[in-house]
Amino acid sequence: MLDEIPVADPAAGNPEVIQSPKPVSRFRLVLSRLRSTPRFWVGIIGLGTIVLWAIFGLAPNAWNASDLDTFNMGSSPTALHWFGTSDIGEDIYAQTIVGLRKSLIIGLLVGPLAAIIAGVVGAVAGYVGGWWDKAIVWVIDLLLVLPSLFLFILLSPIFKSLSWVALIFLLAGFGWMIMARVIRAQTKSLRERDFIKAARFMGVDTWTIIRRHVLPNVSSLLIIDATLGVGGAILSETTLSFFGFGIQAPDVSLGTLLASGQSAAATRPWLFVFPAAILVFTVLSASLVGDALRDAVDPTSGVNRE
Residue 73 included in any domain: no
CA pair distance 123, 18, nearest whole angstrom: 45
> Chain-centre distance of CA 218, in angstroms?
17
Residue 64 included in any domain: no
**Residue 154: left (phi > 0), alpha (psi -120 to 50), or beta?**
alpha
HSE on the CB side for 269, CA within 13 Å?
3
**Residue type (1 letter), 253:** S
Residue 305 included in any domain: no
CA pair distance 257, 116, nearest whole angstrom: 31
CA pair distance 150, 161, nearest whole angstrom: 19
Q: Residue 48's domain is classified under what CATH number?
A: 1.10.3720.10
The bridge status of strand 15-20 relative to strand 3-8 is: antiparallel
pTM: 0.79
How open is the CA angle 202-206-209, to the nearest 5 degrees?
A: 70
Residue 102 included in any domain: yes
CA pair distance 156, 243, nearest whole angstrom: 11
Per-residue model confidence (pLDDT) at position 303: 40
Residue 256 included in any domain: yes
CA pair distance 58, 211, nearest whole angstrom: 43
**Residue 13: left (phi > 0), alpha (psi -120 to 50), or beta?**
left
- Please spell the DSSP secondary structure of the chain, one letter per residue: --EEEEEE-TTTSSEEEEEEPPPPPHHHHHHHHHHT-HHHHHHHHHHHHHHHHHHHTTTT-S--TT-B-TTSTTPPP-SSSTT-B-TT-BBHHHHHHHHHHHHHHHHHHHHHHHHHHHHHHHHHHHHH-HHHHHHHHHHHHHHHHS-HHHHHHHHHHHHHTS-THHHHHHHHHTSSHHHHHHHHHHHHHHTTSHHHHHHHHTT--HHHHIIIIIHHHTHHHHHHHHHHHHHHHHHHHHHHHHTTSSS-TTS--HHHHHHHHGGGTTTSTHHHHHHHHHHHHHHHHHHHHHHHHHHHH-TTS-S---
Residue 179 included in any domain: yes
Q: Which residues of the chain have pLDDT under 70?
A: 1-26, 159-162, 298-306
Residue 205 included in any domain: yes
User: Which pLDDT tens digit goes with each residue over 4-60?
Assistant: 445 545 555 555 555 555 565 667 777 888 888 888 899 999 999 999 999 998 888
Domain that holds residue 154: 39-57+83-297
Counting the structural domains of the chain, the total is 1
Residue 225 included in any domain: yes
At residue 68, what are phi and psi to the nearest 5 degrees? -120, 125
